[in-house]
Amino acid sequence: MLKLIAEGRSNREIGEALFISTKTASVHVSNILAKLNVSGRGEAAAVAHREGIAGARPPSPS
């Protein structure tokens, strides 16, 4: 779900992708934001990118 948030998907789009209701997607998004201790989707997306969840992880330093 965090990957979908990082892609900029709406609750409706997340729900459709995961075959859950928009309300259920909204609850899950809120729970993820709380667990990450972030205030919004943008910060959650930044965490996802930093942790390599949202796309290709940058190469590790040798």
Identity (one letter) of the amino acid at 20?
I
Per-residue pLDDT band at 42 (split at 50, 70, 90): very high
- pLDDT average, residue stretch 1-27: 96
Fold entry, domain 2-50: Arc Repressor Mutant, subunit A (1.10.10)
pLDDT at residue 39, rounded to an integer: 96
pLDDT band at 53 (very low <50, low <70, confident <90, very high): confident
For the CA atoms of 32, 38, 42, 46, the dihedral, rounded to the nearest 10 degrees, stands at -90
7: nearest Cα among 53, 57, 59: 53
User: What is the rounded distance in angstroms from the CA atom of residue 9 to the CA atom of residue 13?
Assistant: 6
